[in-house]
Structure 1
Amino acid sequence: MSKKWAIEAVSRRAFMRSAAFAGASAWAGGALAQSALDEIINAPRRGTWDDQFDAKASRTATAVVSNTPTFGPETIGHLQQAIFDYQQIVSNGGWPQVNAPVKLQLGVADPSVQQLRQRLMISGDLPRSAGLSNSFDSYVDGAVKRFQARHGLPADGVMGEFTVKAMNVSADMRLGQLQTNLVRLQSMSGDLGRRYVMVNIPAASIEAVENGRIALRHTAVVGKIDRQSPILNSKIYQVILNPYWTAPRSIIQKDIMPLMRKDPTYLSRNAIRLFDGAGNEVSPDTVDWFADKAPNLMFRQDPGKINAMSSTKIDFHNEHAVYMHDTPQQGLFNKLMRFESSGCVRVQNVRDLSTWLLKETPGWSRQQIEATIKRGVNTPIKLAEEVPVYFTYITAWSAKDGVVQFRDDIYQRDGEMQLALQTPFGLEGGVAAVEEGNLPQ
């Protein structure tokens, strides 16, 4: 396959060049819309499956991930270049809407595939040499997968509901999203620390960064739109193995009180005990669960497999009473929409992150961590050196030259409702979402 799949590096000098010169680069400018389409239309039509099929396209198209941190020193320059490129796309008419009477995927032949090809060429996901045939061939399959990967969608090559929605967001709206996020990134352009953890809420993802490179990536579950994870800068000061879970007041009121009215055994089944201000245990039978307000008691869950934080809690200073933690509900990490918590952040493969956080703390190897978790005893561990943590809200960035990433504006902060593509209100909520960890009922 042509090496045009490879995205050429764009220097800061190139960013300052004129639009005419910058537009000469097929990938750097995402291809100037009209000139690109003219060239395609005037080119010989290519549509037979024999000369279009190239499995390598599908295998390489999703290679859009970089080990450069979202807050890396190159990111602002790349994002400025992306803004320049999208300005050119907008000034040349944007890209067409994709409207298909059938589900488009590998093997389909339909006139609407021509629209899809045009759309992918203008955004730089499909090389112009692929032509404008009606065939959804391996080139289109690879381009769709690349597009999906850039938008945080499962890269399956199928034009499903969310892929179509993301593809039909207009170029000028995407340009505005890039400009909004440039301001956010510029606010985080200082020295973030030798080692730090970055939680990107819209992406529901975590980066552990060391010496300017990503050491670990983690899938996350973050707050629902009505219980949002906060934007914050803090420092991780301890990891707790086999933690107790103390229910926040809001969850006691909104979730546990209604559960106890329906099922008086709920607390005992979930190993949650009540304590008064003096530390004395209080029987649930003495509480009026039908009262308007929750009792002024501490609701604490014992360590164990059903604990809402499972094996691990990661503590950092903040006024919102949020933290990062493990969860017994590991299936949540496989969901497309991972906006289900009450503000805290659940971390997939959290023991990897704990090992990284504790690697400079003497006596806490991975083996020691695993052995301690197996014993089931509550064990707080102070870090030898606190590690900065940043909860951020970045919906558009370009950490790798020429690869522009977009995520849904899940909390509707970018100013356009159409950018909140995945509505969180369809999720099960209320008593089914007792936090942190979807406690069994």
Structure 2
Amino acid sequence: MSKKIGLKVLSRRALLRSAVSAGAAALAAPALAQSPIDSLINAPRRGSWDDQFDARGSRTAVGVVSNNPILGTEGPANIQQAIYTYQSIVSNGGWPEVRPSTRLQLGVADSSVQQLRQRLTISGDLDEGAGMSTAFDSYVDGAVKRFQARHGLPADGVLGEFTVKALNVPAQTRLMQLQTNLVRLQSMSGDLGQRYLMVNIPAMYIEAVENDRVALRTNAVVGRIDRPTHAINSKIYEVILNPYWTAPRSIVEKDIVPLMRKDPTYLTRNQIRLFDGRGQEVAPETVDWNAPKAPNLMFRQDPGKINAMASTKINFHNPNNEYLHDTPQQGLFNKLMRFESSGCMRVQNVRDMITWLLRDTPGWSRQEIERVISTRQNNPIKLAQEVPVYIVYITAWSAKDRVVQFRDDIYQKDGNQELALQTTTGIEQRQGALTESDLLPQ
């Protein structure tokens, strides 16, 4: 709309009260007079709303995501620019620690918000014009969400444990993290191909890249620290619809045998069948599950809804028996820390990905893919042209717009324990707690 319209500036209090009044009148429900909005307005710790409210402030996290690939041609130059910025921050004394005396979130007024404002201003998440008020207003809310998005945290605007830890990583440590990852990016700066897939282990997501732009980005579940996903440059050569799942020897020994000792029906319930070296099926009840060694048999799960790989397996050349696959446990993608597998990578929205992978393979439209999956019949598909896949370990990078991204050093490769604080907590909680849900989706 080209014509500018002058509007009378309303205070936050007047705006919210008018909204409540309008809603109450429209619904003819007097009970709305005691709505959560009224409670927020009247809260003694709500902050300086009248001076500091701007709805745009809470939307600044939107600009963190871009279609620039991590391994893009400009990746090394972008992270080098970030290094210059962080060198300047370090030379000027870094940023202050944030020590909240209460739970900081939208509407709170507390002296520690001033520390938070200073910290966010130095890192470029909060505009200097927002001032140094003690109010956690919408400007601070937007800056916190932006910071959280840059660090792979839920952008909820609340200073929880993980956000505070990320805020308090010293600027010098972040600078060293950027320098470490510059070397990693430089090693990947050659011709990666017109179309390729990238799995970034610390970021727990996958990029399908075409013509140096991200065509598809999706979440992934990757290997936990004691069973890590291996970094490798390879090529995807096959997609299998309705795959069989053959359990690796490590999972048989560490997981399946102990589960069978507890529950002799486990294999049958999960449609896992046993085969000897001649391809003859072996009944589970004939096996001594308490023997010192696991049986020298193949453990193979039939295709179907409960299959560990669900609808899809994506094979690439590698010596580690790792692959990408679907999963029946879609709830795992809602987790903050998705280091849950035994090395293979589970893919969210896998059907979008295989449609992209099979685009140049004749006869495999999205409609045909869906039809074959619905049959529950095993169907291997060789790609007409192999697609490069790069499984990388990048914990810091920067895009064209100079938005610097950081992730936890889950495998502790960056040389500083402080960079693994968040995920280390999650790992400690998981130790000794293996269940059936941990087992099947490798």
TM-score normalised per structure 1:
0.87
Is the CA contact (8 Å cut-off) linking 1:341 and 1:433 kept in structure 2? no
Partner residue, 1:419? 419
Distance 2:364 2:415 in 1: 46
Shift of 1:194: 1.0
Is the CA contact (8 Å cut-off) linking 2:340 and 2:438 kept in structure 1? no
Question: Which one is further off, 61-70 or 308-317?
Answer: 61-70
Q: Which amino acid in structure 2 is aligned with residue 426 of structure 1?
A: Q
User: Any residues of structure 2 matched to 1:7-406 within 5 Å, and which?
Assistant: 48-406=48-406
Distance 2:81 2:438 in 1: 44
Distance 2:148 2:157 in 1: 8
Is the CA contact (8 Å cut-off) linking 1:256 and 1:431 kept in structure 2? no
Shift of 1:128: 0.5
Q: What are the superposed Cα offsets for residues 113-159 of structure 1, whole Å, 9 maximum, x if unpaired?
A: 00000000000000100000000000000000000000000000000
Is the CA contact (8 Å cut-off) linking 2:222 and 2:340 kept in structure 1? yes
Is the CA contact (8 Å cut-off) linking 2:151 and 2:405 kept in structure 1? yes
Q: Which amino acid in structure 2 is aligned with residue 237 of structure 1?
A: Y
Shift of 1:277: 1.2
Is the CA contact (8 Å cut-off) linking 2:105 and 2:159 kept in structure 1? yes
Is the CA contact (8 Å cut-off) linking 1:341 and 1:436 kept in structure 2? no
Shift of 1:432: 3.9
Shift of 1:61: 3.0
SS at match of 1:430: coil
Distance 1:149 1:305 in 2: 34
Distance 1:382 1:312 in 2: 13
Is the CA contact (8 Å cut-off) linking 1:207 and 1:217 kept in structure 2? yes
Is the CA contact (8 Å cut-off) linking 1:344 and 1:436 kept in structure 2? no
Shift of 1:295: 1.1
Is the CA contact (8 Å cut-off) linking 1:208 and 1:215 kept in structure 2? yes
SS at match of 2:64: coil
User: Percent identity, aligned pairs only?
Assistant: 72
Gaps of at least 5 residues in structure 1 are 1-46
SS at match of 2:291: coil
Q: Which amino acid in structure 2 is aligned with residue 339 of structure 1?
A: F
Distance 1:181 1:293 in 2: 43
Is the CA contact (8 Å cut-off) linking 1:221 and 1:345 kept in structure 2? yes
SS at match of 1:114: helix
Distance 1:415 1:100 in 2: 28
Distance 1:364 1:213 in 2: 24
Shift of 1:360: 0.5
Q: Which amino acid in structure 1 is aligned with residue 315 of structure 2?
A: D
Q: What are the superposed Cα offsets for residues 318-356 of structure 1, whole Å, 9 maximum, x if unpaired?
A: 000000000000000000010000000000000000100
Is the CA contact (8 Å cut-off) linking 1:242 and 1:379 kept in structure 2? yes
Distance 1:367 1:146 in 2: 38
Distance 2:440 2:167 in 1: 34
Distance 1:49 1:110 in 2: 14
Is the CA contact (8 Å cut-off) linking 2:236 and 2:317 kept in structure 1? yes
Q: Which amino acid in structure 2 is aligned with residue 430 of structure 1?
A: L
Shift of 1:434: 4.4
SS at match of 1:390: strand
Distance 1:122 1:225 in 2: 33
Distance 1:129 1:430 in 2: 50
Q: What are the superposed Cα offsets for residues 78-125 of structure 1, whole Å, 9 maximum, x if unpaired?
A: 100111110111111100000011010000000000000000000000
Partner residue, 2:15? none
Shift of 1:286: 1.8
Distance 1:79 1:401 in 2: 11
Partner residue, 1:4? none
Aligned length in residues? 392
Distance 1:95 1:268 in 2: 58
Is the CA contact (8 Å cut-off) linking 1:152 and 1:406 kept in structure 2? yes
Is the CA contact (8 Å cut-off) linking 1:258 and 1:431 kept in structure 2? no
Q: Which amino acid in structure 1 is aligned with residue 187 of structure 2?
A: S
TM-score normalised per structure 2:
0.87
Is the CA contact (8 Å cut-off) linking 1:221 and 1:338 kept in structure 2? yes
SS at match of 1:351: helix
* Structural RMSD (CA): 1.1
Shift of 1:76: 0.8
Shift of 1:431: 4.1
Shift of 1:73: 1.1
Partner residue, 2:434? 430
SS at match of 2:106: coil
Distance 2:90 2:174 in 1: 10
Is the CA contact (8 Å cut-off) linking 2:223 and 2:340 kept in structure 1? yes
Distance 1:363 1:375 in 2: 17
SS at match of 1:374: helix
SS at match of 1:206: strand
Shift of 1:60: 2.9
Q: Which amino acid in structure 1 is aligned with residue 196 of structure 2?
A: Y
SS at match of 1:63: helix
Shift of 1:436: 4.5
Distance 2:146 2:89 in 1: 19
Distance 1:353 1:276 in 2: 35
Question: Which one is further off, 420-429 or 361-370?
Answer: 420-429
Q: Which amino acid in structure 2 is aligned with residue 422 of structure 1?
A: T
Distance 1:107 1:321 in 2: 51
Q: Which amino acid in structure 1 is aligned with residue 309 of structure 2?
A: M
Shift of 1:245: 0.2
Is the CA contact (8 Å cut-off) linking 2:48 and 2:137 kept in structure 1? no
Shift of 1:430: 3.0
SS at match of 1:76: helix
Partner residue, 2:25? none
Q: Which amino acid in structure 2 is aligned with residue 236 of structure 1?
A: I
